[in-house]
Amino acid sequence: MTETDEAKPAELLVCIKCRRGTEIPEDDRRPGARLYDNLKSSDVPDGVTVTPVECLQNCEGGCTVALRGPGRWTYVYGALHEDTDVETLLGGAALYRETTDGLIPWRQRPEHFKRNCVARVPPLTPAKEAANG
């Protein structure tokens, strides 16, 4: 895809506080932090930044990440496992980065993304109407 090289960057936010419903001893590294570690030690696609964040407040349905980028819808995905979903996430982030609006075509969209979208938020756009008008 010729647009790829010109694509704007994308950011993969990872909730590093997530316990993924497990009992974690106080001094153990949490599943969310381990997901972050595993992503950072993998082959992250060009133009994708992996960012640790504190609590995306999907605590009942973690691990949780968000994908965002300039001009694009932000997507929040849950039910991720720190060991088995790393490749899925990186592949999905690469596809997301190739979009201009954040909408990965349905047929290309990873199955996990199809089934575990927690919420999405539209890109910032110029106001279409006056405030409170």
Using rule CB under 8 A, residue 64 touches a copy of itself? yes
Using rule CB under 8 A, residue 33 touches a copy of itself? no
- Which residues are registered as beta bridge partners of 67? 12, 75
Q: Are residues 81 and 63 in contact, defined by beta-carbon separation less than 8 angstroms? A: yes
Nearer to a copy of itself, 28 or 115 (CB): 115
Give the range of 20-28, 52-60, 81-89, 103-111 binding a copy of itself by CB under 8 A. Answer: 52-60
C-alpha 112/C-alpha 77 separation (Å) is 8
Q: Give, as one character, the DSSP assignment of residue 86.
A: H
Closest CA to 82 of 63, 66, 67: 63
Question: At its nearest, how many Å lie between a copy of itself and the CB of residue 82?
Answer: 18
Contacting positions for a copy of itself (CB under 8 A): 9, 13, 40, 44, 47-51, 53, 55-58, 64, 66, 68, 74-76, 117-122, 127-128, 131-132
